[in-house]
Amino acid sequence: MFISSQSSAPSFRDFTLVMPAVAVGNVGQLAVDLIVSTLNMSRVGHIHTDCLIPMAGNNPYASSKEDGEELHTPAEVYAAAELKLAVLQIRAPILQSKTKKFRQLLVSWIKSSGFSRAVVLSSSHAYQRDDQQLQGTPLRYLVTPSLLKGSADALKELGWREMERVPAFPGLTDGNTEPRLSIPGGGITKEFYTDSCKEDLPLAVLLLFCSEGDNIPDAFALANHLNDWLHLLDDNSKQPNKWKIPTSWSLLFGNGIPPALF
């Protein structure tokens, strides 16, 4: 459940929530890191739950020695009141047996907090694209009917591509198999989207097709894509480096090299 880290509980009424899905390449989580780091958002609370594997570390967004020694937990909420933006960052895998419980927790928290809309940043296995998905942009979106009512025009203007429904058994011409939504490697994305449709939550999913590897460029792509819609950064220049990389993004591929190796 949500526990405030300040003296009083923050209000999220009419805020936009951005959250990642733990998915292939951790792209959603990396993109969220960029948002929190660039907008210098402050932590307002924790999601304290048994659904995530415990981990702890010092402040991943530390900019100086003073704020470096602040403990951070696997699921935290950051807020930027002037932008009416709240961000949930998830830093640990969801326990396999607790995925349903975690989705229910999120749905009920989003509902009770009064968010005007929620956006899930996610990703999907690039190698499982079908022929039509291989062409063009790797970015896709999904919206629940509830959010479509308010945002249909904005989405049309952006010219985004909706996530296609794919046949369950490609190649089989059996008339019974209807195309259905499939987000392989997306973690809880698909089920969370269908839950949100059922619960009438205004939810959008932004995802991109990627593979495991150096996913930093993917994170930038997803963050920029989100920014095109929500205009989180008021820097209108098309520079790719308007996002600030957090200090925790170091040594992503291992330690320094032992000099004796050469």
Contacting positions for other proteins (CB under 8 A): 3, 5, 22-26, 46, 48-50, 53-58, 60, 62, 68-71, 73-74, 93, 95-98, 100, 125, 127, 184-187, 191, 211-212, 247-252, 254-259
Spatial separation of the C-alpha atoms in residues 233 and 163, rounded to whole Å = 26
85's enclosing H/E stretch is strand 85-90
* In the complex, least distance from residue 219 CB atom to other proteins, rounded to whole angstroms: 13
| 74 vs 202, beta carbon nearer other proteins | 74
Is 104 within 8 Å of 34 (Cβ atoms)? no
Our CB check for other proteins shows the closer of 224 and 248 to be 248
Nearer to other proteins, 187 or 202 (CB): 187
Shortest reach from residue 250's CB to other proteins, in Å: 5
Strands 16-20 and 85-90: parallel
- Give the nearer residue to other proteins in terms of CB position, either 150 or 170: 170
Least distance from C-beta 186 to other proteins, angstroms?
7
Kindly state the smallest distance separating residue 147's Cβ from other proteins, in Å.
24
| CB neighbourhood size of 5 (10 A) | 14
151 alpha-carbon distance from chain centroid:
19
Least Cβ distance, residue 109 to other proteins (angstroms): 15
Query: How far is Cα 6 from Cα 246, in angstroms, rounded to an integer?
Result: 23
What is the dihedral sign for C-alpha 213, 125, 85, 45? negative
CB closer to other proteins, 191 vs 199: 191
* Residue 31 contacts residue 226 (beta carbons within 8 Å): yes
- Residue 88 or 230: which CB sits closer to other proteins? 88
103 in helix, strand or coil? Answer: helix
The answer to whether 204 and 196 are in contact (CB under 8 A) is no
Q: Per-residue DSSP letters for 141-180?
A: EEE-HHHHHHHHHHHHHHTPPBPPPB-SSTT---TT---B
**Among residues 18 and 94, whose Cβ is nearest to other proteins?**
94
CB of 116 to other proteins, least distance (A): 27
Residue 170 one-letter amino acid: P
Please report how many Cα atoms fall inside a 13 Å half-sphere around the Cα of residue 10, on the Cβ side: 23
Q: What minimum distance in Å lies between the beta carbon of 232 and other proteins?
A: 24
